[in-house]
Chain A
Amino acid sequence: MNNIIEIKNLKKYFAVPQGTLHAVDDVTLSIPEGKTLGVVGESGCGKSTLGRTIIRLLEPTSGDVYYNGENIISKSKAEVKKLRRDLQMIFQDPYESLDPRMNVSRLITEPLIINKLYTGNGEREKVVSEMLELVGISEKLKGSYPHELDGGTRQRVGIARALALDPKFIVCDEPVSALDVSIQAQVINLLQRLQESKNLTYMFITHNLSVARHISDIICVMYLGQVIELAERYELFSNTLHPYSQALLSAIPVPSTHNRRTRIILKSELTSPLNPKPGCRFAPRCIHAKPECFEVTPELKDVGNNHKVACHLV
């Protein structure tokens, strides 16, 4: 299968008063066409920065991103603007991501106007109606303003806006995290249906491992800017190798009183990837850490079954 997106040694550093923040540090990944790559990790692990850098909403410090074999990073701003149509993003907060002064119909037309698409008479209205039907919003809500809609409907509007440009690859940045549980499932099902019908490729960023497992084909776990484990979903959940992934998995509260898992409680808290020293970034919190872990940065190595892990102990 061909990879629609290939990320090679991507780095994104931010200069902050205290030094350099290695938000994304040497990430290499590829996403096959029509599949979903789940990116999981806790706040500050660089997952959102990664998503934004891939589609050049942020300029990377170094590294390359290939879209269908073309290097996106070396392209000029004007060329990127053309590519925008193919590479879209769905955002987390459906309350903040819609302009409160625009109604549904205008919100969906906006991307068409910006990109000068469907200029013919009445064509845009037709596209709006198509999009509304596609994401399951009643025509009656065309004139409504965002504050009149519930969270799920707003997120559908956000999805419709991205889809209006007929993209091939969509970065979904925590698209269901701000939604109520009963609405989350609606949006997840919608995203899956759209993927099937339009052969979309997703990068699905989330902190929720159950959601990641449900929607992704491949899952990568990030910790402080680096990918520490990468595997096909069943493999990752049945054969979790990295101590951090294990702890993350065990920490999820399960809504049932049976099959309680033994919980690994990590010591201390997440630090930030500020001026990192060599060595495993998880070592200070790791219960299995050896002296070596504090000195040598572990490589992401293949342990078979397309399962990669960055840990000295594996």
Chain B
Amino acid sequence: MSKIHTPAMDKAEQKRQKFQKRRSTPFTDGWRRLKKNKLAMVGLVIIIVYAVIAIFPSLFTSYSYVTQDYTSLFAPLSRDHLFGTDNLGRDIFTRVIYAARASLGISLLSVAVSLFFGGVLGSIAAFYGGKADDIIMRFIDILQSIPGTLLAITLAMALGKTVVSLMLALGISTIPPYAKVVRAAVLTAKDRQFVEVSKCLGANDRWLITRHMIPNSLGPIIVQTTFGIAAAILMISSLSYIGLGIQPPTPEWGSMLSDGKQFLQMGTAWPMTVIPGLAILIVSFALNVLGDGLRDAFDPRLK
């Protein structure tokens, strides 16, 4: 191009290269924006701590969650029992920690169930449109018109009080929002020109959906999933509270709350309700602020 070369040009070029070193991909850009959101980062840290506790509960406590100690019922907070003990003398700290495992596992699995079915239904509806779209979306509308909690309770009762049934009950009752989010996202992606370009290069439907449409609709789906996990954790606790969820002696925040409520009048028994309640509050708060942060990070236009 230009025939000349001067030191000033080298300097400008060096500056330019230094500047360009930072890789910019759609993912790293989103992550950079997320990092700037303090509240979302707090949420993320809480979720990581929660996940670590749920996966390795034994690292955090030396007690067993079933060991009953009749010599110290309703013990107050102390060095031995960080959050005291309950009506059977079990260590509340230990039970809260082990309870994380059940709620995290089941909520993840139930979200996986609804994401899978919702994703398949939503993308089929969006991609093929017409009759398929009509039939699928009417089915989703019907499913959604049944109150979610009632549906989950009915399913949980019908399927029996097992962990698998709880997971299915939660998963099935929350399919509609996932189907709708995936459908909307795929519909948007479908109309984008790069999909037509790939079609022109010879790609078949499966390629178009899996390689172009889904990857480009991940943003809203991830956000929905984050909120979905929060909702599932709350729902598990609600079901356990009324006795349909996780069965004793396995600890669960909802059932712990339920156990504690009969001793509420006793001043010394407050940790039995307050501690699991706080656990639910903190985790669902963290997931919600993280979800908001993710939405802003992946779709900055909404800000």
Residues of A at the B interface (CB closer than 8 Å) are 55, 57, 81, 84-85, 88-89, 91, 93, 96-101, 103, 110-111, 114-115, 143, 145, 147-148, 158, 161-162, 165
Residue interface mask B197-222, A partner, CB < 8 A = 1: 11111111001000110011000000
- Chain A residues within 8 Å of B194, by CB: 96-100
- Roughly how many angstroms separate A105 CA and B119 CA in the complex, as a whole number? 29
**Residues A114 and B216 in contact, CB atoms below 8 Å apart:** no
**Residues B200 and A89 in contact, CB atoms below 8 Å apart:** yes
- Roughly how many angstroms separate A98 CA and B195 CA in the complex, as a whole number? 9
Tell me whether B36 is interfacial, beta carbon within 8 Å: no
Would A100 and B216 be within 8 Å (CB), given that A91-B193, A148-B24 are in contact?
A: yes
**Residues A110 and B215 in contact, CB atoms below 8 Å apart:** no
Ordered by A's residue number, 29 sampled pairs between the chains whose C-beta atoms are within 8 Å are: A57-B196, A57-B200, A85-B202, A89-B197, A89-B200, A91-B193, A91-B196, A91-B197, A93-B193, A96-B194, A97-B194, A97-B197, A98-B197, A99-B198, A99-B216, A100-B194, A101-B25, A101-B216, A111-B201, A114-B201, A114-B202, A114-B203, A115-B202, A143-B23, A161-B197, A161-B201, A162-B201, A165-B201, A165-B202
- Roughly how many angstroms separate A291 CA and B216 CA in the complex, as a whole number? 55
- Roughly how many angstroms separate A100 CA and B23 CA in the complex, as a whole number? 14
Tell me whether B147 is interfacial, beta carbon within 8 Å: no
8 Å CB contacts to A: which residues of B237-275?
none
- Chain A residues within 8 Å of B199, by CB: 57
Cβ-closest chain B residue relative to A117: B202
- Roughly how many angstroms separate A158 CA and B24 CA in the complex, as a whole number? 20
Tell me whether B26 is interfacial, beta carbon within 8 Å: yes
**Residues B198 and A96 in contact, CB atoms below 8 Å apart:** no
Q: Which of A55, A81, A145 has the most CB of B within 10 A?
A: A145
Tell me whether B32 is interfacial, beta carbon within 8 Å: no
8 Å CB contacts to A: which residues of B19-36?
23-26
Q: Which of A99, A103, A110 has the most CB of B within 10 A?
A: A99
Interface of A: prevailing SS? loop
B148 to chain A, nearest CB (A): 33
Besides A97-B197, A101-B215, 6 other A-B contacts (C-beta < 8 A): A96-B192, A99-B215, A101-B25, A101-B26, A101-B216, A114-B203
Cβ-closest chain B residue relative to A93: B193
Residues of B at the A interface (CB closer than 8 Å) are 23-26, 192-194, 196-204, 207, 211-212, 215-216
- Roughly how many angstroms separate A158 CA and B26 CA in the complex, as a whole number? 19
A to B contact number (C-beta, < 8 Å): 65
- Roughly how many angstroms separate A55 CA and B201 CA in the complex, as a whole number? 11
**Residues A100 and B26 in contact, CB atoms below 8 Å apart:** yes
Which 8 A-B residue pairs are closest in the complex by CB-CB distance?
A96-B193, A111-B201, A84-B202, A99-B194, A97-B193, A114-B202, A89-B200, A114-B203
- Chain B residues within 8 Å of A143, by CB: 23
Would A114 and B193 be within 8 Å (CB), given that A100-B216, A145-B24 are in contact?
A: no
Interface of B: prevailing SS? helix
- Chain B residues within 8 Å of A97, by CB: 193-194, 197
- Roughly how many angstroms separate A97 CA and B211 CA in the complex, as a whole number? 15
A72 to chain B, nearest CB (A): 14
- Roughly how many angstroms separate A99 CA and B208 CA in the complex, as a whole number? 11
- Chain A residues within 8 Å of B215, by CB: 99, 101
- Chain A residues within 8 Å of B211, by CB: 110
- Roughly how many angstroms separate A110 CA and B197 CA in the complex, as a whole number? 11
B209 to chain A, nearest CB (A): 13
- Chain B residues within 8 Å of A161, by CB: 197, 201
- Roughly how many angstroms separate A165 CA and B216 CA in the complex, as a whole number? 25
- Chain B residues within 8 Å of A55, by CB: 200
**Residues B198 and A114 in contact, CB atoms below 8 Å apart:** yes
B218 to chain A, nearest CB (A): 9
Cβ-closest chain A residue relative to B215: A101
- Chain A residues within 8 Å of B196, by CB: 57, 91
- Roughly how many angstroms separate A97 CA and B198 CA in the complex, as a whole number? 9
B220 to chain A, nearest CB (A): 15
B215 to chain A, nearest CB (A): 5
Cβ-closest chain A residue relative to B195: A99
**Residues B26 and A84 in contact, CB atoms below 8 Å apart:** no
Cβ-closest chain B residue relative to A100: B26
- Roughly how many angstroms separate A96 CA and B23 CA in the complex, as a whole number? 21
- Chain B residues within 8 Å of A145, by CB: 24-26
- Chain A residues within 8 Å of B197, by CB: 89, 91, 97-98, 158, 161
